[in-house]
Amino acid sequence: MALIVQKYGGSSVSDAESVKRVARRIVETKQAGNDVVVVVSAMGDTTDELIDLAEQVSPNPPGRELDMLLTAGERISMAVLAMAIYDLGFEARSYTGSQAGLITDSTHGRARIIDVTPGRISQALSDGAIPIVAGFQGVSQDTKDITTLGRGGSDTTAVALAAALKAEVCEIFTDVDGIFTADPRIVKKALKLDQIAYEEVLELAANGAKILHSRCVEYARRFNVPIHVRSSFNKNEGSWVISQEAKDATMEQPIISGVAHDLGDAKLTLVAVPDKPGIAATIFETVASNGVNVDMIVQNIAASDTNKTDVTFTLPKIDGKKALAALESIKDKIQYQELILDENIAKISLVGAGMRSHPGVSADLFRALAQAGINIEMISTSEIRISVVTRAEDAAKAVQAIHSAFDLDSDTDATVHAGTGR
Ligand code: ASP
Ligand code: MG
């Protein structure tokens, strides 16, 4: 008998009908002879609605209370899902994250799981019941307060439980058929991947692809939990997220796994800073001490006659004004000529483990953008990724051009079954 952890996302349980549909699917899995543990997200856009509500009540709610509020979303879905399963003649028991043994640190809003003690889940399983666990939440080890794991955190709950219970697989049910080579909402002919390595998913997720919660993939990689991302709207085989070694062991390996895009970044340029030791350190110490994470950094060689250079970096758009103010306050120290904040950029990233051993990938990428008439403003690379910054309005065109240039286009259109993409 296999133990399967199934996670159903908000768009799969958006109303009473879909809750019943999901209940039938869970029962089918059980009837096929498996033990099933279910993790469920809040129904539809409930979490966003609860955040909107909090904002109307208070401009700056305490983290403890906001977490208490947001966990209510998942409590609703776990209870109604358990009821729907009862109606099908099976016993289901719902558990909050705390009851299910998801122990976290005490950082409200983005708590980290530090231990999983799923005693009650194991008990329910041995009693023949189907445990339903509220995703995205836990309880702090020291304060004993309720915490949340950050937006999209139910994926992490599911993988953490799968690891602790030594499940055979963690199935993540969503509103698309799996992981695609690009966002199917932008690239109609996006191709569903049969397999993808943990590292590749992490790069795609970190660069704007809305696939899986990064922490969930990190967790899965650490404990080697296979993840099967699939649609809750059909029975099709989805995409398997596995280790690079397991992926290498299968026959044919594509060079590229996908194209991600991110419209959430801005770019900040310090014009004409003196080219001398300590300048970069001062700039980035200042930015970091204001809690701003930078991503790409570009500095040119100084023009020989002036000995001045430009320094440009990207950062989350929401931090733009903060970084600007911080750098303005050290103008005397750095003596730049001007600061330019540009919020109208897109970051496009091409990801694939095959890049490690395959020359010419960046050249092909730049050629594809040139042919589409798209200007590249910044470039950065990792071992398995190439990212470029373009104008924001060029994003969709750039993703499509790259997707086609690398022969990723599928023969059929990708289906998006539900969800607002919110
Ligand atoms: N309901 C939470 C959210 O919308 C957690 C999740 O869906 O995974 O972010
Ligand atoms: Mg959600």
Average pLDDT, the chain: 94
Confirm or reject: Cβ of 41 under 6 Å from ligand 1: yes
Asked whether 73 lines ligand 1 (CB < 6 A), one says: yes
Q: Does 242 reside within a domain? A: no
Return the structure tokens found at 107. 């950082």
SS3 per residue for the chain:
CCEEEEEECHHHHCCHHHHHHHHHHHHHHHHCCCEEEEEECCCCCHHHHHHHHHHHHCCCCCHHHHHHHHHHHHHHHHHHHHHHHHHCCCCEEEECCCCCCEEECCCCCCCCEEEECCHHHHHHHHCCCEEEEECCEEEECCCCCEEECCCCCHHHHHHHHHHHCCCCEEEEEECECCCECCCCCCCCCCCECCEEEHHHHHHHHHCCCCCCCHHHHHHHHHHCCCEEEEECCCCCCCEEEECHHHHHCCCCCCCCCEEEEECCEEEEEEEEEECCCCHHHHHHHHHHHCCCCCCCEEECCCECCCCEEEEEEEEEHHHHHHHHHHHHCCHHHHCCCEEEEECCEEEEEEECHHHHHCCCHHHHHHHHHHHCCCCCCEEEEECCEEEEEEEHHHHHHHHHHHHHHCCCCCCCCCCECCCCCC
Using alpha carbons, select from 38, 53, 41, 34 the residue that is nearest to residue 13.
Answer: 41
Distance 309 CA to ligand 1 centre (A): 44
Rounded to whole angstroms, the Cα distance separating 100 from 367 reads 52
Per-residue pLDDT averaged across 219-244, rounded? 95
> pLDDT band for position 247 (50/70/90)?
confident
CB 130 within 8 A of CB 38: yes
Whether 244 is in a domain gets the answer: no
Lowest mean pLDDT among 72-76, 220-224, 300-304, 393-397: 300-304
| Alpha carbon 374 to its chain's center | 27
> Does the beta carbon of 47 lie inside 6 Å of ligand 1?
yes
- Please indicate, yes or no, if residue 118 is contained in any of the structural domains: yes
Range of the domain at 76: 3-175
Q: Is the pLDDT of residue 12 over 70?
A: yes
Ligand closest to Cα of 154 equals 1
401 pLDDT band, cuts 50/70/90, is very high
Tell me, in angstroms, the distance from the centre of ligand 2 to residue 74's CA: 9
Distance CA 171, CA 229 (A): 6
- Tell how far the Cα of 137 is from the centroid of ligand 1, in angstroms: 10
Does the structure show a pLDDT above 70 at 252?
A: no
Decide if 81 is inside a domain: yes
Nearest-angstrom CA–CA distance, 391 and 125: 53
pLDDT score of 420 more than 60 = no
Going from the Cα of 174 to the center of ligand 1, the distance in angstroms, rounded, reads 12
How far apart are alpha carbons 343 and 262 in whole angstroms?
12
Lowest mean pLDDT among 8-12, 173-177, 319-323, 329-333: 173-177
- Residue closest to 30 by CA, chosen among 68, 59, 4: 4
Q: Residues 71-111: pLDDT tens digits? A: 999 999 999 999 999 999 999 999 999 999 999 999 999 99
Predicted local confidence at residue 302, as pLDDT: 78
Side-chain-facing half-sphere of 111: CA atoms under 13 Å: 34
CA proximity to 96, closest of 120, 125, 63: 120
Quick one: pLDDT at residue 422? 39
Q: Is there an atom of ligand 1 within 6 Å of 44 CB?
A: no
Q: Give the pLDDT confidence of 283-292 residue by residue, as tens digits.
A: 999 999 999 9
Atom of ligand 1 nearest to the CA of 154: 8
**Which ligand has the minimum distance to the alpha carbon of residue 172?**
1
Mean pLDDT of 378-385: 93
Asked if residue 298 belongs to a domain, the reply is: no
pLDDT at 183: 92
Nearest CA to ligand 1 atom 9: 151
The answer to whether 103 and 117 are in contact (CB under 8 A) is: yes
The count of structural domains within the chain is 1
Q: What is the mean pLDDT of residues 308-337?
A: 95
- 418 pLDDT above the threshold of 60: no
Mutation to probe ligand 1, out of 13, 78, 136 (largest number of atoms < 8 A from CB) = 136
Give 306's pLDDT tier (boundaries 50, 70, 90).
confident
User: Residue 255: its pLDDT value, please?
Assistant: 87
Closest residue by Cα to residue 180 from 230, 221, 144: 230
211 pLDDT tier (thresholds 50, 70, 90): confident
Q: What is the pLDDT of residue 415?
A: 72
Whether residue 421 is predicted with pLDDT greater than 60 in this model: the reply is no
Q: What digits encode the pLDDT tens for the residues 23-52?
A: 999 999 999 999 999 999 999 999 999 999
Of residues 156, 251, 115, the one with CA closest to residue 195: 251
Please give the residue that has the higher pLDDT: either 303 or 163.
Answer: 163
Residue among 334, 322, 10 at smallest CA distance from 174: 10
- Cβ atoms of 388 and 347 closer than 8 Å: yes
CATH number at residue 131: 3.40.1160.10
The verdict on residue 403 lying in a domain is: no
CB atoms within 10 A of CB 342: 17
- Note whether residue 262 is domain-resident: no
Q: Is the pLDDT of residue 140 over 60?
A: yes
Q: Name the closest ligand to CA 135.
A: 1
Q: Give the distance (Å) from ligand 2 centre to CA of residue 153.
A: 9
φ/ψ of 138, rounded to 5, equals -155, -165
What average pLDDT does this structure show over 196-223?
92
Residue 285 lies in a domain: no
- What distance lies between CA 194 and its chain's CA centroid? 19
Q: Is residue 77 within 8 Å of residue 136, measured between CB atoms?
A: no
Q: How far is the CA of 108 from the centre of ligand 1 (A)?
A: 15
